[in-house]
Structure 1
Amino acid sequence: MKRILVPTDFSEHAEYALKVAAQIARKTDAEIYLLHMLELPNQTVDAVAPGSEVPEVMFYMKKAHERFEELKQQDYLSGIPVTEAVQFDRAFEGILKISKKHEIDIIIMGSHGASGFEEIFIGSNTEKVVRTSDIPVLVIKKGDENFNIKNIVFASDFTDEIKKPFEKAVEFAALFGAHIHLLMVNTPNDFKSTSAAEKIMTDFVRNYPIGTYSTHVYNETNVEKGILKFSKSINADLIGVSTHGRKGLNHFFNGSISEDIVNHASRNVITFKI
């Protein structure tokens, strides 16, 4: 983990993410890429060219760089290489383009979640990044001066397609020497006996260089509720889930547990692309 991307709108939640990124960067000798997206009207964007002096564009760019300079003076970033960028694009699309261009290893974003009509019709940039990113996305929900992960819940059905995301989860847990709680949620429509579920999980992790872990079976009416309630019951520091990256009508009809968790969890969440 050598390159960390932190998108920022200079809000309080974005700074929560930056503070966590700084702590991880110190652990891994990583550099931080700070990105601010300017979503301007199409006609304004079309007018932007090298050397352009469109007043509105110049004003917002100047303000963004002033805010960057303020952030870079913060003590928690002292000694960490920080690269700043202002991009003209829709936020989540720009984030994905920059992550590929600079071969980013992880995206760390702040989020306060979304619900009701906002969730259905608008959604959040964080949710869209979670859905479409090929690299892990760490979603920070609250300020934490000491981001020290001890207990990670990794929720899954533990099928073969989860192997690659799980490898990433194990690598992340190893950074903190964290205990991984393997969780399988039993629902009425997909029920397994405790012994069968535990065997699936034990067989799944057998060939991984995993540190300390435990297996858990939790019964609930749906998977999202099971993950959230179990995580609360053990006071988990982080929830880990995998995402299929569904788009279009497929996403609309099938939904995504990972996006629901990102929106509704009060705890930090990390997602891994299948």
Structure 2
Amino acid sequence: MMKKILVPTDFSIQAENALKVAAQIARNNNSEIHLLHILEIPSQMNDAITGATPIPEVVFFIQKAKETMRFIKEKSFLKDLTVIDSIKIEKASQAIISYSKENNIDLILMGSNGTSGIEEIILGSNTEKVVRLSNAPVLIIKEEITEFNPKNIVFASDFSEEIKKSFGKLLDLVYAFNAHLHLVTICTPNSFKTTALTKKIVQEFISNFDIKNYSTHIYNDTNVEKGIINFSNHINADLISLCTHGRTGLSHFFTGSISEDLANHASKPLIVYKI
């Protein structure tokens, strides 16, 4: 269950959008929110922290961060919720991963800037590094969501044996919001399977789970990422979910140039589970 939710914050509007969604999930699940700010201080300053007399700039940065955290915790949308705040001095992605492990975090929520589309999320950003390394699922929020209540969740997969454990974690989210789960296989010219074989694979996969509110789909497109996006648009999905190997992040889904379709679609929330 989602009892501990981690929201890294750089005090930006994107981070606040993620925190607002975390607050909504926390209310539904009686969860506690862990609000984490990371100070990425230059190494010469970092060395000074452990010294007997920390340099004034470092003390100033820490003090200002504490003041901002106090201000955030007083926001109305966090009223009556348990919010634990922390400040770490470390590289951002490393700090998020280490904090998540140390505190047994169940879900990480990250805000991301929508200006450069999904390319900014997937490739080379702190978000991508967290997705690649995190054992906890990572929910990426691209814009403000006044009511996070996903009723149509897409799960795009090849439904192989290795994703069963990660799929079980996704079901916690599905049940929490009483959502309809759309199980979709994307068929492309490079990964063609007959309809009969595809249906057999999916049915064998879901026979291991007690799912009632779901439907299965086969969607044909020129590549996997376009298929996920176009199918999600077609059913008006509220949330896209994927499983990925930690060793490659999402690079097996998003290789080469990122299509315009993906960039335009970047507003939908995306949750990623590591296999």
The alignment's TM-score, normalised by the length of structure 2, stands at 0.91
- Maintained 8 Å contact 1:228/1:265: no
- Maintained 8 Å contact 1:25/1:80: yes
AA matched with 1:225: K
Tell me the CA shift for residue 115 of structure 1.
Answer: 4.9
2:263 pairs with 1:255: no
Question: What SS does the aligned partner of 1:184 have?
Answer: strand
Tell me the CA shift for residue 263 of structure 1.
Answer: 11
Deviations 1:131-151 (A, max 9, x none): 111111111111112111100
* Structure 1 Cα separation of the partners of residues 28 and 273 of structure 2: 21
The alignment's TM-score, normalised by the length of structure 1, stands at 0.91
Corresponding position of 1:161: 162
Deviations 1:39-95 (A, max 9, x none): 111111111127753211111111111111111111110111111111111101100
- Maintained 8 Å contact 1:113/1:264: no
Q: How does 1:49-198 map to 2 (within 5 A)?
A: 49=50, 52-112=53-113, 115=116, 123-198=124-199
* Structure 1 Cα separation of the partners of residues 245 and 263 of structure 2: 14
Q: Which shifted more, 164-173 or 262-271?
A: 262-271
2:19 pairs with 1:18: yes
Question: What SS does the aligned partner of 2:153 have?
Answer: strand
* Structure 2 Cα separation of the partners of residues 157 and 181 of structure 1: 13
Q: Which has the higher helix share?
A: 1
* Structure 2 Cα separation of the partners of residues 241 and 108 of structure 1: 15
Unaligned runs of 5+ in 1: none
Question: What SS does the aligned partner of 2:132 have?
Answer: helix
Unaligned runs of 5+ in 2: none
Question: What SS does the aligned partner of 1:22 have?
Answer: helix
Tell me the CA shift for residue 211 of structure 1.
Answer: 2.9
* Structure 1 Cα separation of the partners of residues 207 and 41 of structure 2: 51
Query: What CA RMSD, in Å, does the superposition of the two structures yield over aligned residues?
Result: 2.4
* Structure 1 Cα separation of the partners of residues 195 and 49 of structure 2: 60
Corresponding position of 1:36: 37
Tell me the CA shift for residue 262 of structure 1.
Answer: 10
Q: Which shifted more, 263-272 or 182-191?
A: 263-272
